[in-house]
Amino acid sequence: MFIQRAPLRVLALLVISLGARVSAQNLTDDQISLVKARLAQGATHSWELGTRAQALVELDTPTFSVYNASVPPPRTAPSSLNETLAIAQSIVANRSASNHNATGPQPLIQDGAAADPASNIFEVVLANWTGLSDHDYAGAAKDQVDFLFDKVPKTSDGAISHRADQLQLWSDFVYMVPPTLAYYGVITGNQSMVQFAYNQVKLYRNYLIDTHANNLWKHVLMGSFNDTGHWSTGNGWAAAGMLRVAATIQNSPFSSALKNQHKDLLNWAHEIHGGMYRHLDTNTSLFHNYADNPSTFLDASSTAILAASVYRLANMGGPRTHIPQAELSRKALSSTNSSGAFVHFDAQGWLTPVVNPDSYGSEGSKSPEGQAFVLQMHAAWQDWVALGEKGAFTCASL
């Protein structure tokens, strides 16, 4: 028994190192540029613009990312922030056209969703903070916040609807609204706004958590239809949104006043990981579109945002339990075949396979949000490497 064990172990190591030589483990700078270019080309919907703005900051300007630097950030914008500020500029320049010259509370972009346009509060607030003065950025951000407070339906206990025309809760909300409200709160020196953002996460968790499914979140409740399945991307939006709120608190002047809220947010993100990672497909290291329904297609998009959130949680001092699985997913998404072509990207740089961002039950071919998630995974992984790769699976455990 003991005698046979050693050669087997050597063999296993040989197989692993041979595998590593054939297949890449990390996305190259060229591939990241390609992914970014497709994101720039594809992002048109309100939530895609907000997610793109966030992904670009995390990747290119860590000194302005809530994960990496103090909030508020410096007042002077480095040129790496240009693309992000350009998103704010085009949204605010077009705001009157989009809202038919409305005045007062209004979304940044006219949209059926109440929450999605609010994802852009982040870069609009940044434009104001760094002194861009060709438009009234502060006024546009305030109108969007007032719109959420005054014009959007709410549950009796105060959860803001994801939709504008009816009361309906979507897990996606947790990425679109609480992180940007928390950011707005810190920039305007309003602790109660940051607390409000935390409360929204707490309310959404109460409604959407499925304690009969290891705490996975349901996707859509209330209103004219629902989706009680455990949509993987929705669980990813929720975990990543919680961590942005937590990081905003952690790096703000309110960190000690809100330390219990910060702790809850890390626990709740970890709770989602606990529900999700037991369902990671072992052959591919990808999630199915509905995590606990293996008859649904495999989805690289949710796989990327969840891996990003696992690295972020670890980088913020939270549990590292799921780092080995995030590493498996990241390596799978970075792999190449024997002719050197990326397995999970087409030649143009589009991630595959992905859920259709406009039809959450169907497989699509081009997902701008999926492109952003890859950049976020890469940025979070780079930070994790810089912090010493804590929690990695090592050869010692073979």
Ligand X SMILES: *[C@@H]1O[C@H](CO)[C@@H](O)[C@H](O)[C@H]1NC(C)=O
Residues that bind ligand X (CB under 6 A): 20, 24-26, 62, 68-69, 79, 82, 90, 94, 97-98, 100-101, 110, 125, 128-129, 138, 141-142, 187-188, 190, 192-193, 196, 221, 226, 228, 281, 283, 337-339, 341, 383, 385
Least distance CB 175 / ligand X (angstroms):
20
Least distance CB 153 / ligand X (angstroms):
16
> Is the sign of the CA dihedral 66, 68, 72, 76 positive or negative?
negative
Contact at 8 Å (CB) between 236 and 305?
Answer: yes
Least distance CB 1 / ligand X (angstroms):
27
Contact at 8 Å (CB) between 325 and 285?
Answer: yes
Nearer to ligand X, 268 or 287 (CB): 287
Helices 259-277/191-208 angle, 10° precision? 30
3-state secondary structure of 8: helix
Rounded distance, CA 31 to CA 25, Å? 12
Nearer to ligand X, 26 or 321 (CB): 26
Nearer to ligand X, 188 or 255 (CB): 188
Nearest Cα neighbor of 312 from 264, 245, 381 is 381
Least distance CB 194 / ligand X (angstroms):
8
Rounded distance, CA 51 to CA 56, Å? 9
Nearer to ligand X, 142 or 230 (CB): 142
Least distance CB 150 / ligand X (angstroms):
10
Least distance CB 237 / ligand X (angstroms):
19
Rounded distance, CA 131 to CA 108, Å? 19
Report residue 361: phi and psi, to 5°. Answer: -95, -5
Rounded distance, CA 391 to CA 370, Å? 26
Least distance CB 110 / ligand X (angstroms):
6
3-state secondary structure of 35: helix
Rounded distance, CA 64 to CA 72, Å? 8
Least distance CB 2 / ligand X (angstroms):
29
Nearer to ligand X, 5 or 130 (CB): 130
Nearer to ligand X, 220 or 265 (CB): 220
Nearer to ligand X, 4 or 262 (CB): 262
Nearer to ligand X, 339 or 394 (CB): 339
Least distance CB 224 / ligand X (angstroms):
8
Report the run of H or E that residue 263 belongs to, with start and end: helix 259-277
Nearer to ligand X, 92 or 240 (CB): 92
Give the CA dihedral 95, 97, 103, 106, nearest 10 degrees: -50
Give the CA dihedral 129, 160, 380, 210, nearest 10 degrees: 170
Indicate the residue type of 7.
Answer: P
> Is the sign of the CA dihedral 200, 318, 24, 59 positive or negative?
positive
Omega before residue 178 within 30° of 0, cis: no
